[in-house]
Structure 1
Amino acid sequence: MVETKHVPIPTVPDGPLDTSRPHFVGIGGAGMSSLALLLAQRGSTVTGSDVRSTTVTDRLQAAGATISIGHTGALPGSPSLVIWSSALGTDNTEVAAANRASLPVVHRSQLLAHLVAEVKDSVIVAGTHGKSTTTAMLASAVGVHLSGWSGGGDMIATGANAGTGPGDIFVAEGDESDRSLTAYRPEVAVILTVDDDHPETYVDRDDAISVYAEFARNANALVFSVDDEGARHVAELVDGQTLAVAYGRSANADVRVTGIRPDGTGSLITLRGPDGVETTLGIAVPGDAAAMNAVAAYTTGLVLGIDPGTLITGLATFAGVARRMTPVGDADGVTVMDSFAHHPTAVTADIGAARQLSAGGRVVVVFEPSGWTRTAALGESIGRALAEADEVVLLPVHSLLDSPIGKVGTEKVAAAVAEHGTPVHAVPDITAAGEVCGELVRPGDLVLTMGTGAVAEVGEALLAHTVSAVRS
């Protein structure tokens, strides 16, 4: 998740939520748009507003939502419910208008908690890294058993970040950035990783671990990565309070990974289940991180009682999530991929995956840091992670929100990259990034665009002009 504001979340109104006519304030956001799409597909009359038209708002309008551009304070029709998110806060004009009109107003997480409570078999996937991919993988893996899903990234197979199905299992991504994980009471809580992230919200990793632990206690079962120190710590804190199932490479994992090897653009994963039987999973998305996400999804499916064959088939057909090591294209011997990675751990993982796919060629990373607070806190670590590339093109920090420390530059990041001997090219904007990248690349290179902002445009522009840009 990108940087957010830490705002108090008022108590949800008494009684059940009426989702027949929901109005979403900031409907184009990742978490908001997925819930809006899900409700639209279920037959709700969805309205919403946002500051600009995007492909996301276009998609929602195609699904039947009515969307106004700009926050004027007007509420269309007679909403049964008004939903806000931490990206906006309760001082938004439309939220204030809803409060004056005594309309039910809830935080995005409270709406998701309501949807989770509607079904018996529900899953919330949480973690600093990999939750969007794992959520979509699990939705694909359970097949016809799925009743609905809501995630933070678009499933490439459907082009959407939510969907419905004929079954009785509901799968959703839980966002830790605003501490709202504690709102959920799922049948299964999944914790992939707990890293030191969101310095605007958490004091340190121990603070985050306390929130994850409360989340885990609210579930009837916990699936967690025994290889991740933070997730393992959470499991230790809730030991005996909920059923805990571990997955990972460690010998004491209930579902143990015994091998991961590249297979084309994906991986073949061998694992041993609690019964000692060895199984092979094949996925079409690259990198060890994606492979472990697949194991998390498979393990969760087993906990839900899904047949292993169904899970294996569903994972094999999974084509990935947009902006999660997504192929953009090839031209004149140059390959371009795109990644949402912005935390040092994710940056390291995706550069490693790119190295695996580059077949000995260079990896050129175009990176756009996310959030002024995060960049100030993690700049040196981000730089060390980026130094694993062969060349780094560094954009200014992307942030949609004000920071109490003000705007932050990329000097720390650039210095850490250079300190490790990797050439770094700081540029002022997207246009300059494209020009510098065009001068750097040569046949055999893999260009990886990384970040939460508009950095993907660099790769698209590069492919459009590769004939003239690539040096022979």
Structure 2
Amino acid sequence: MDLNKIKRVYFIGIGGIGMSAIARFFNENGVHVSGYDRTETALTRQLVEEGMEIHYTDDVELADKQAELVVYTPAIPGTHAELIWFVKQGYEVVKRSDVLQEITKELYAITIGGTHGKTTTSTLIAHILRHAEYGCNAFLGGISANYDRNFWSSTRQVAVIEADEYDRSFLKLHPDVAVLTAIDADHLDIYGTEKEVQEAFIQYTRNIKAKGTLVAKLGLHRAAELKGDHHIWYHLDDSKADIYAANIRPAEGGYRFDVIQQDWKLTDVYLPVGGTHNIENTIAAIAVAHLLGITDGRIKAAIADFKGIKRRFEYLVKNDYQVYIDDYAHHPEELRALITSARALFPERKCVVLFQPHLYTRTRDFAEGFAESLSLADEILLLPIYPARELPIEGVHSEMIAKMISKPVQVIQKEEVLPWIKANSAPLFITAGAGDIDQFREAAEEILNGKGIVENEAIKKKA
């Protein structure tokens, strides 16, 4: 597969966050790009505006039969008519990870893997390199709030790539710098056991190129088995790490802190994004930027300008009377970090979390962990499980989690969400999940912002 010679590419599942980044890569390099997706979204509409052709019916007659390369996402079922036709006709049909594999072979590759934090960390690294005018080709698993994009290009032969562990696709990558944020049990429907998850991440580090660097969180499971000719260990605040934060203090919904690394120090860094876990993600990004020779002033300026990623501790409403945070959290540890950080920033507010469990298998495997993390809130609302690619499993439902929670909790249907928000008090409101819970964002933002305005006016009248 010579990416430089391809003139037409067809994508099956073009609207996926990872797929659309690769589609944009080809499109910006003058390749004719078209594709299929199940439903039209804001992202697919953007792709069409950028010149790509997209249809939403699984119909071979609508597919590009002149395509030299067909790229599909592992989320597409094996029964998909277009996918079956292209395979039977002998087209070159590859997964998106195969394309990323070729990119990592050709460019200086910085890949970011881990069960949590990889989207924020990869977007931070790519943002620093772009803001500092160093430049990179960014392939991200989220939409950067700074640029409203999950991909951007550069003439510099450097790629920043989010390394997805689902379907073991990240094992095809060959990084020069590999970042590893976390190794927790997840995707057990794919891996089977936590040990197999760990083995996969160890293999991820074995793929680091000769003389390459591993930037990994201090304290990971089986850390002694992680490879890489050079190691940089980072941590939120553990001074045993090679690089860590000190003097952390809340500031304007974000944080200020110093960064310590052996004989180097970066003082008074301002991160305008909430969540102490995002400080740790920033430490990893700073370690990579410093490794590449980005100057202190440019690193600090880039971080201060970082607006975050859509659906990663994203403030939709933030005023003196109402805070609404939306987050992609869909694992117990992600929920724990999200709720803990939000409560630390807004300690006096009643915290209500609306959570949509993602996948029957994940709910089954981590029900107790979900209940424990959600119990950090004052009140919990649970939506039914979002199935994604899975069929129902008997006895697995959101009530499993609800039964383990001691705080006020209820399972509600989608049509009940907005009436609940209108009728109840939630000064600190959080929506979390990786399914379609984001469909409530705009309406919930409008309701909660209005409540803040009403509360403000009421206080003014009393004064």
Determine whether 1:379 maps to 2:367: yes
Q: Report Cα offsets for 1:383-424 as digits up to 9, x if no partner.
A: 110010011111100122124835731122101222xxx110
Q: Give the corresponding residue for 1:8.
A: none
In structure 2, C-alpha distance between the alignment counterparts of 1:116 and 1:178, rounded to whole Å: 18
Determine whether 1:148 maps to 2:140: no
Kept in 2: contact 1:336–1:459 (CA 8 A): no
* TM-score, normalisation: structure 1: 0.89
Report the Cα offset of residue 302 of structure 1: 2.2
Q: Report Cα offsets for 1:266-303 as digits up to 9, x if no partner.
A: 11121211324353421110011111111111111222
Determine whether 1:78 maps to 2:66: yes
Q: Which residue among 454, 462, 465 is the counterpart of 2:436?
A: 454
Report the Cα offset of residue 164 of structure 1: 1.3
- Of Structure 1 and Structure 2, which has the larger fraction of its residues in helix? 2
Q: Give the corresponding residue for 2:409.
A: 424
Report the Cα offset of residue 131 of structure 1: 0.8
- Cα root mean square deviation, aligned: 2.2
Q: Give the corresponding residue for 1:318.
A: 306
Report the Cα offset of residue 312 of structure 1: 2.2
Within 5 Å, give how 1:156-167 maps onto structure 2: 156-167=145-156
- For structure 2, the residue ranges without an aligned partner over 5 or more in a row are 459-463
* TM-score, normalisation: structure 2: 0.91
In structure 2, C-alpha distance between the alignment counterparts of 1:380 and 1:68, rounded to whole Å: 41
The size of the alignment, in residue pairs, is 447
**Greater relative CO (CA pairs within 8 A, separation 6+):** 1
Report the Cα offset of residue 359 of structure 1: 4.6
Q: Give the corresponding residue for 2:421.
A: 437
In structure 1, C-alpha distance between the alignment counterparts of 2:213 and 2:71, rounded to whole Å: 29
Residue 306 of structure 1 aligns with an amino acid whose one-letter code is I
Q: Give the corresponding residue for 1:56.
A: 43
Report the Cα offset of residue 331 of structure 1: 8.1
User: Which one is further off, 106-115 or 403-412?
Assistant: 403-412
In structure 1, C-alpha distance between the alignment counterparts of 2:84 and 2:259, rounded to whole Å: 52
Within 5 Å, give how 1:57-456 maps onto structure 2: 57-74=44-61, 75-119=63-107, 121-143=108-130, 144-219=133-208, 220-227=212-219, 229-230=220-221, 233=222, 235-239=223-227, 241-248=228-235, 249-329=237-317, 333-403=321-391, 405=393, 408-418=396-406, 422-427=407-412, 429-441=413-425, 445-456=427-438
In structure 1, the residue corresponding to 2:403 is in which secondary structure? helix
Change (3 A) 1:186 1:89: farther
In structure 2, C-alpha distance between the alignment counterparts of 1:384 and 1:18, rounded to whole Å: 52
Kept in 2: contact 1:373–1:403 (CA 8 A): no
- For structure 1, the residue ranges without an aligned partner over 5 or more in a row are 1-13
Residue 123 of structure 1 aligns with an amino acid whose one-letter code is I
Residue 443 of structure 2 aligns with an amino acid whose one-letter code is A
In structure 2, the residue corresponding to 1:314 is in which secondary structure? helix
User: Which one is further off, 432-441 or 50-59?
Assistant: 432-441
Kept in 2: contact 1:148–1:165 (CA 8 A): yes
In structure 2, C-alpha distance between the alignment counterparts of 1:346 and 1:206, rounded to whole Å: 20
User: Which one is further off, 108-117 or 462-471?
Assistant: 462-471
In structure 2, C-alpha distance between the alignment counterparts of 1:88 and 1:207, rounded to whole Å: 24
Residue 332 of structure 2 aligns with an amino acid whose one-letter code is P
User: Which one is further off, 352-361 or 80-89?
Assistant: 352-361
Q: Give the corresponding residue for 2:461.
A: none
Q: Report Cα offsets for 1:432-467 as digits up to 9, x if no partner.
A: 12222333215xx11101111232343532343455
Q: Report Cα offsets for 1:113-166 as digits up to 9, x if no partner.
A: 1112221x2111011111111111000111222231011110011111111134
User: Which one is further off, 90-99 or 203-212?
Assistant: 90-99
In structure 2, the residue corresponding to 1:360 is in which secondary structure? coil
In structure 2, the residue corresponding to 1:178 is in which secondary structure? helix
In structure 1, C-alpha distance between the alignment counterparts of 2:296 and 2:254, rounded to whole Å: 20
Report the Cα offset of residue 103 of structure 1: 1.4
In structure 1, C-alpha distance between the alignment counterparts of 2:147 and 2:156, rounded to whole Å: 18
In structure 1, C-alpha distance between the alignment counterparts of 2:443 and 2:328, rounded to whole Å: 18
Q: Report Cα offsets for 1:349-391 as digits up to 9, x if no partner.
A: 1111211332511111111111110001111110110010011
Change (3 A) 1:103 1:18: farther
User: Which one is further off, 453-462 or 62-71?
Assistant: 453-462
Residue 71 of structure 1 aligns with an amino acid whose one-letter code is D
